[in-house]
């Protein structure tokens, strides 16, 4: 209900007002701010994954510019010794316009990260992208076995089978590194679980399969029941601390994040930054149960 209400209201809220609420989820607009935010998290014992905001571009010139921005970010973060890797969205390199061009740009970014023994995570976007992003990942994983990972979404009915289908890429030396999240896009019921309990059940089943297959899951959630379910699986499979990690989004549930860290688990925070913050942050606002009333008040509060 909150999500629906906020979706209806957001188009009428001035960007300046949306920024007031959004800035908690964004590390800033510049590379320097992103690197500083990552260093601050590192100081708390948290690893990071830096993301340059932007997605679904309209022309391929933007893809070129986005690639250069990633190459610059990697250079800056490596120079600053940030303990972290990078995440990217293939549609910001033109995946839906020309998949070969997108592949070439992303390959260059992965190559750059690999030159620092680092890692690029391919975020998962909406369902028209799923096959394309898996195909892209497969190609890159074959060339850079230790430097690339993929996101999978527990709400998609196909995900369990996707994990099975990618098993041939798993090895002890370079395990498949999947971030599992619930999934954020609005998908039809024919392909996606819709109920909270169903999504959570499949989330834990997918994580269990990853443990059984000795893959490296990144458990990306702020949802306590899933985190507790994951703890049980860690116990059941006696998973060593360096064979999985938890992940959370910048600015979301810091107290829960601290409690996971204090129990000795590895934690990585997704650090988005950049000028194109609007799309990302409105998705976060829609997920925040406290936001509906705040935004409604803001609408009526001039200045
Ligand atoms: P859920 O939405 O049920 O939230 C559980 C609880 O967390 C809420 O009750 C609330 O207390 C708190 N909470 C959640 N969001 C909040 C917010 N914005 N503000 C305040 N409190 C909040 N999706 C995708 O489709 N593709 C991707 O590549 C990624 N990548 C990704 C990376 C990382 C590191 C994370 C953590 C998440 C993603 N996601 C994503 C987003 C993911 O699919 C999902 O939409 C969000 O994580 C919210 O789902 P939860 O599992 O937290 O549960």
Residue from 179, 177, 58 nearest 124 by CA? 179
How far does residue 199's CA lie from ligand 1's centre (Å)? Answer: 12
- Summarised one tens digit per residue, pLDDT across range 229-250 is 999 999 999 999 999 999 999 9
State the closest ligand 1 atom to the C-alpha of 123, by its place in the atom list counted from 1: 28
| Domain parsing of the chain, residue ranges | 1-26+279-303, 33-273
pLDDT value, residue 163: 98
- Summarised one tens digit per residue, pLDDT across range 126-143 is 999 999 999 999 999 999
* Coil, strand or helix at 100: helix
Residue-by-residue DSSP string for 43-108: HTT-EEEEEE---S-SSHHHHHHHHHHHHHHHHHHHHTT-SEEEEE-GGGGTTTT-HHHHHHHHHH
pLDDT value, residue 12: 77
CATH number of 33-273: 3.20.20.220
pTM summary value? 0.94
Residue-by-residue DSSP string for 223-270: -HHHHHHHHHHHHHTT--GGG-EEEEETTS-HHHHHHHHHTT--EEEE
- Summarised one tens digit per residue, pLDDT across range 75-102 is 999 999 999 999 999 999 999 999 999 9
Of 87, 159, 220, the one to substitute when testing ligand 1's pocket (max ligand atoms within 8 A of C-beta) is 220
d(CA 293, CA 58): 34
Does 221 sit in the ligand 1 pocket, CB within 6 Å? Answer: yes
Does 245 sit in the ligand 1 pocket, CB within 6 Å? Answer: no
Of 47, 52, 187, 287, the one to substitute when testing ligand 1's pocket (max ligand atoms within 8 A of C-beta) is 287
What is the chain's percent helix, strand, coil content, to nearest 5?
55, 15, 30
- Establish whether 179 is a catalytic residue: yes
């Amino acid at each position: 209900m909150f999500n629906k209400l906020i979706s209806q209201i957001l188009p009428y809220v001035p960007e300046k007002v949306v920024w007031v609420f959004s800035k908690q989820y964004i590390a800033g607009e510049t590379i320097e701010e992103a690197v500083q935010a990552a260093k601050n998290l590192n100081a708390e014992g948290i690893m990071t994954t830096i993301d340059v905001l932007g997605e679904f571009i309209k022309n391929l010139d933007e893809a070129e510019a986005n690639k250069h921005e990633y190459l610059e970010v990697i250079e800056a973060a490596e120079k600053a010794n940030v303990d972290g890797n990078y995440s990217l969205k293939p549609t910001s390199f033109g995946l839906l316009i020309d998949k070969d061009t997108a592949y070439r740009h992303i390959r260059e970014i992965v190559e750059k990260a690999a030159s620092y023994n680092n890692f690029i995570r391919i975020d998962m976007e909406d369902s028209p992208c799923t096959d394309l992003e898996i195909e892209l990942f497969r190609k890159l994983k074959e060339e850079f076995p230790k430097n690339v990972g993929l996101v999978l979404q527990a709400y998609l009915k196909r995900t369990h089978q996707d994990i099975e289908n990618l098993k041939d890429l798993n090895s002890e030396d370079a395990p498949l590194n999947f971030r599992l999240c619930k999934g954020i896009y609005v998908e039809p019921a024919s392909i996606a679980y819709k109920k909270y309990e169903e999504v959570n059940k499949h989330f834990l089943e997918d994580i269990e399969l990853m443990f059984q297959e000795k893959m490296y899951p990144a458990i990306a959630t702020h949802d306590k029941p899933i985190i507790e379910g994951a703890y049980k699986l860690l116990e059941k499979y006696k998973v060593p601390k360096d064979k999985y990690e938890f992940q959370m989004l910048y600015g979301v549930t810091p107290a829960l994040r601290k409690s996971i860290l204090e129990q000795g688990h590895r934690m990585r925070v997704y650090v988005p930054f950049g000028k194109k913050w609007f799309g990302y942050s409105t998705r976060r606002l829609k997920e925040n149960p406290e936001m509906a009333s705040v935004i409604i008040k803001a609408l009526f509060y001039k200045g």
